[in-house]
Structures are given as C-alpha cells and as structure tokens.
C-alpha cells in the first residue's frame, strides 16, 4: 500500500554502484529508512540523487509496512526548492547541523507531525534569513527542539532575583541562584543569554539577541552537552566543528 507524505532527508549513504540508503523524517511515519535504487547510474539520473541530499524537503509517495525496517519510494519530488541553503556555505553548514541533531534525537519511528512542521518551517526560514538571524539559528533550533523531547529548560522566572548570581543547571534543566555541585552548568551572562533566547518564538526575532561568535560557540557547546546528558547515546556532533569554522 502506498502513502503520500512529506519528508526531510536526514542522511544519505551510498549502497552498491547505483543505489542509496536514505534516512528521512516523514510527516506520517516519523523517521524511516528507504532503499533508493538506480539513482547514481549516469549523468541523466544523477539529478535524482540530488533529491536525497541531507536537508532536502520532499513530497513522497512511499510503500510502507510497519513490520519492515526498510521501505521503498514510489515517487519523489521537491516540496520546497531552496534559494540559498544548498549553495551558501554558512547556511548549508547550519542546515546540516540541524538535521544531524534531529537525526540523533529521533530514536523511534513514530509520527510526530508537530515536530515535522516545526523543522520544515525552520529550514525554510533559515533559507530566507539575513546573516544576523542565521548566525543565531543553531542556538534557536537547539533550544526549541528540546520542547518536543521533554527536556526543555524551565523558565527563568522561577529563579527571580539578582541576575548576576544566576546559574543554569544542565542536569536539572533549571535556573538557580546556587552554583550546582557538579560541573554541568552555565553561569551569569551566558545563562541570561540563554533565558533571552528561550523567549524567542519566531526566527525573525533572533536579530534582537546580540552576541559575538565566541559567545555563540561557547553556548552551542554547552547546549550540546545538555543534549548528551539527556539523550542516550547522543555522542559527538560531527557537523559542529565545520559550523564553528564557517561562523568565524
């Protein structure tokens, strides 16, 4: 039986001489794996392989069987054509970081339409975003994604008082005035910047948050530490080093 669904390509691996094994976050079935045959045969079909590069947004008609771990695609086309993400080095690096984080957090093949629509919209908005907004996009996406997996940070209002004594406990996910007894925390200015970022509901508001690339790098490393503390087998983020380099 076939189903029509949208998809976000998370990973694509060559298989044999002409095929690909593609991991896709689908609108209907969550994260799924597809065998795609005959897309790397020659120059004429080479364009089909381009459909399956990570970050691609697709309209798909797929064969699906809940009893199988790998499925097949009957038909496939772009659902959204990027203007910048595939050609702009900075935006491409950010988008690849986003899909790697998504891939690492999606553990089960379950439908999560709200998460799918959030990620689809985030990639489209990144594609159109000016530089000042794009620079903060990895931080925004990392924080927003936690809402869908049940380990989001608490509101800083719960720790009202003198801002200069604020800490963000990465084990508990809460703001506090007491320094945690473990090393996993963010403090003072970085904690306040995180609180400011948590208030951002739409990417266009990211231009209001001012920081340099050193601060962005430090915060993103801490956010990845937070993920590693709360997502089993999260591991290292391979795209992180490239992202740091292109963002300066």
236-245: Cβ within 8 A, 24+ apart: 237/97, 237/100, 237/101, 237/104, 238/100, 239/93, 239/96, 239/97, 239/100, 240/97, 242/93, 242/96, 243/93, 243/94, 243/97, 243/138, 244/217, 244/220
Structural domain including 102 reads 82-248
- Verify that 131 and 202 share a domain, yes or no: yes
Q: Are 75 and 62 in contact (CB under 8 A)?
A: no
pLDDT digits (tens, 9 = 90+) for 53-70: 999 999 999 999 888 889
**Where residue 183 sits, what CATH number does that domain have?**
1.20.1440.120
- Verify that 214 and 120 share a domain, yes or no: yes
pLDDT digits (tens, 9 = 90+) for 161-204: 455 679 999 999 999 999 999 999 999 999 999 999 999 989 99
- Verify that 77 and 47 share a domain, yes or no: yes
* Planar angle of CA 222, 129, 23, nearest 5 degrees: 65
**Where residue 58 sits, what CATH number does that domain have?**
2.40.50.140
Q: Are 193 and 215 in contact (CB under 8 A)?
A: yes
- Verify that 150 and 59 share a domain, yes or no: no
Q: What is the pTM of this model?
A: 0.92
- Verify that 160 and 197 share a domain, yes or no: yes
State the total domains in the chain.
2
Choosing from 81, 108, 142, the residue where a domain stops is 81
Please state at what angle helix 131-145 crosses helix 89-105, rounded to 10 degrees. Answer: 0
- Verify that 71 and 86 share a domain, yes or no: no
- Verify that 54 and 105 share a domain, yes or no: no
- Verify that 64 and 108 share a domain, yes or no: no
Q: Are 176 and 201 in contact (CB under 8 A)?
A: no
- Verify that 138 and 201 share a domain, yes or no: yes
- Verify that 75 and 86 share a domain, yes or no: no
pLDDT digits (tens, 9 = 90+) for 71-95: 999 999 999 999 999 999 999 999 9
The DSSP bridge partners found for residue 61 are 4, 75
- Verify that 92 and 122 share a domain, yes or no: yes
């Amino acid at each position: 039986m076939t189903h029509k669904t949208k998809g976000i390509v998370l990973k694509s691996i060559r298989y044999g001489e002409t095929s690909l094994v593609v991991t896709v976050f689908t609108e209907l079935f969550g994260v799924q794996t597809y065998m795609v045959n005959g897309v790397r045969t020659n120059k004429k079909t080479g364009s089909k392989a381009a459909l399956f590069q990570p970050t691609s947004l697709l309209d798909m008609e797929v064969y699906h069987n809940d009893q199988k771990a790998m499925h097949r695609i009957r038909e496939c086309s772009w659902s959204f054509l990027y203007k910048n993400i595939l050609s702009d080095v900075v935006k491409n690096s950010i988008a690849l970081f986003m899909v790697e984080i998504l891939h690492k957090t999606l553990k089960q093949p379950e439908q999560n339409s709200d998460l799918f629509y959030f990620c689809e919209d985030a990639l489209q908005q990144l594609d159109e975003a000016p530089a000042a907004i794009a620079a903060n996009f990895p931080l925004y996406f990392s924080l927003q994604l936690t809402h869908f997996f049940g380990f989001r940070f608490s509101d800083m209002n719960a720790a009202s008082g003198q801002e200069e004594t604020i800490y963000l406990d990465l084990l508990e996910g809460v703001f506090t005035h007491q320094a945690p007894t473990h090393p996993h925390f963010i403090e003072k200015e970085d904690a306040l910047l995180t609180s400011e970022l948590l208030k951002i509901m739409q990417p266009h508001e990211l231009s209001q948050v001012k920081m340099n690339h050193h601060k962005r790098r430090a915060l993103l490393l801490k956010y990845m530490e937070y993920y590693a503390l709360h997502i089993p087998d999260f591991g290292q983020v391979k795209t992180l080093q490239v992202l740091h380099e292109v963002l300066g």
